[in-house]
Amino acid sequence: MKANITLHKEFSIGETDKRLYGSFIEHLGRAVYTGIYEPGHPKADSEGFRNDVAALVKELDVSVIRYPGGNFVSGYNWEDGTGPKELRPVRLDLAWATKESNSFGTNEFAAWTKKVNAEMMMAVNLGTRGPQEARNFVEYCNFPGGTYWSDLRRKHGVNDPHRIKLWCLGNEMDGPWQICGRTAEEYGRIALEAAKVMKWTDPSIELVACGSSHMRMPTFGDWEKTVLEHVYDHADYVSLHMYLANHENDIPNFLGRSLEMDNFIKTVAGICDLVKVKKNSRKTVNLSFDEWNVWYHSNNADRKIEKWSEAPPLLEDIYTMADALAAGCLLITLLKNADRVKIACLAQLVNVIAPVMTEKSGSAWRQTIFYPFMDASGFGRGTALRCPVTVDKYDSREFCDVPYIEAAGVHNREKNEINIFTVNRNLGEAVNLDAQIAGFGNISLVEHRALYNNDLQACNSASEEKVKPKVLSGGRCENRSGSAFLEIALPPASWNLVRLKIL
């Protein structure tokens, strides 16, 4: 099979925001406890942070990390996670039916994000709480001093403000599973009032309003429109969430679901622009895709977890080669919409549907989905380029005209690089890819790296890494008539990174 793509310097989508490569830590399962934080672990530092986990997070070059939820936040009192640890209350977490010790909280999270070179993305509770508690939280975190809440932070040993710039106005408030879920009208009103007092406290912050929990919600579309009619003037982003499942083991259909993500993004962007027109506003509300991943492997195991245990092994999906391909398709979809999606969070980061797994008192290791994210985060920063693909298509159980090749290109001016990301959805056949690249002058091929395994159910573990990238030879790049012509072979069912240098 053959495929053709075209890249031109002048045909850009937009700049990739560095926050496109974010992730998520929730007080859920072992994400925090025995994940990023395990005092007494052989590789823990003096603050209890696992150095082995931090090293893997740095490999991913995660730009921003959302915290503390997720469903957890809708029942969370942020004050519980501050002050002397011996005085912090143990609470029942109704979101996940577990006990929360609160021995890890806001200030610990702030210290850990510095350790892994990431920014914080904080969520406020608009379920059981409201604007006043949200405003107080901003003051505690961001005000320098001389007020009750800022001085309390300093009393807790944190003299300088955290300067958190990105805040979520609750989480999935349309969901019946959410603690104190709301109608669009109810949420729009409380989000507006919270947004006002939060920005009055710190005008420099940016706010993310809750969109629909997923696009198959019965209120999808109407929810976004109603909420935005309330908060448009104060919110900077609206959230999108999407998880892929493959219970039927129908991999062609599974890999086609990135088309649904693309439609989701374009639909929500259109609703934002509709409200912009209705309000006669000059402001553009962009998108925060702050939960995305594959999630289904752990569903049966989660039903067997004993209620009210502490840090149980919840949502611990062990990912396959097929899951890595699906994650790669989603990453490419985000790049193809970089003009509107400015923030995205792989949910989550450690142990809970995560690229990084740990053993309690033991080792940390990379899941299959680690590698597409690492490649995109490391080489997908710059100007996203339009990347039309000519290739055969297939129909699946739910989707029509799924292209066998998904592709995105990014031009990094600072490093004088062009990087191309592709997924070959053809499960049984290599695809010979020809790319014409114009407008950049002469180009050389630096590297073609691919992730593939003949067994699409192959997984990694603490003892064996069956799925890891391979550097491939055989590609070639020629310069003629002012353009570069690239020829490479994409292995069947593979994620590919092609690195090019502008000479």
Contact, 491 vs 449, CB < 8 A?
A: no
> Which residue is it, tokens 């999407």?
242
Q: Catalytic residues, which ones?
A: 172, 291
Q: Give the count of beta carbons closer than 10 Å to the beta carbon of residue 472.
A: 18
Q: Which two tokens stand for residue 151?
A: 């001085």
- Tell me the per-residue pLDDT of 228-278, one tens digit each, with 9 for 90 and over: 999 999 999 999 999 999 999 999 999 999 999 999 999 999 999 999 999
pLDDT in the model for residue 113:
98
Amino acid at position 176, single letter = P
Assign 232 to helix, strand or coil. coil
- Tell me the per-residue pLDDT of 198-233, one tens digit each, with 9 for 90 and over: 999 999 999 999 999 999 999 999 999 999 999 999
Contact, 410 vs 442, CB < 8 A?
A: no
Distance of CA 218 to the CA centre of its chain: 24
- Tell me the per-residue pLDDT of 88-144, one tens digit each, with 9 for 90 and over: 999 999 999 999 999 999 999 999 999 999 999 999 999 999 999 999 999 999 999
Distances (CA, A) of 23 to 20, 226, 459, 491, 499: 9, 28, 22, 29, 24
- Number of alpha carbons in the 13 Å side-chain half-sphere of residue 393: 11
* Inter-residue long-range contacts of 217-225, CB under 8 Å, 24+ positions, other chains counted: 217/174, 217/175, 219/174, 219/184, 221/267, 221/271, 222/184, 223/174, 223/184, 224/268, 224/271, 224/272, 225/271, 225/274, 225/275
Task: Give DSSP secondary structure letters for 161-199.
Answer: -----EEEE-S-TT-TTSTT---HHHHHHHHHHHHHHHH
pLDDT in the model for residue 356:
98
CB burial of residue 8 (10 Å; 0-12, 13-18, 19+):
middle
> Which residue is it, tokens 């396959």?
320
Among 112, 123, 138, smallest CA distance to 32 is for: 112
pLDDT in the model for residue 393:
98
Q: Give the count of beta carbons closer than 10 Å to the beta carbon of residue 482.
A: 10
Q: How far apart are CA 450 and CA 236, in angstroms?
A: 37
Contact, 123 vs 72, CB < 8 A?
A: no
Among 147, 152, 121, smallest CA distance to 201 is for: 147
pLDDT in the model for residue 367:
98
pTM confidence score: 0.97
Q: Which H helix or E strand runs over 374?
A: helix 370-379
Assign 390 to helix, strand or coil. strand
Q: How far apart are CA 329 and CA 332, in angstroms?
A: 5
Q: How far apart are CA 34 and CA 352, in angstroms?
A: 11
Q: Crossing angle for the helix pair 370-379 and 51-60, nearest 10 degrees? A: 60
Low-confidence ranges of the chain (pLDDT < 70): none
pLDDT in the model for residue 111:
98
Rg (CA), the chain: 23
What is the residue-averaged pLDDT of the chain? 97
pLDDT in the model for residue 323:
98
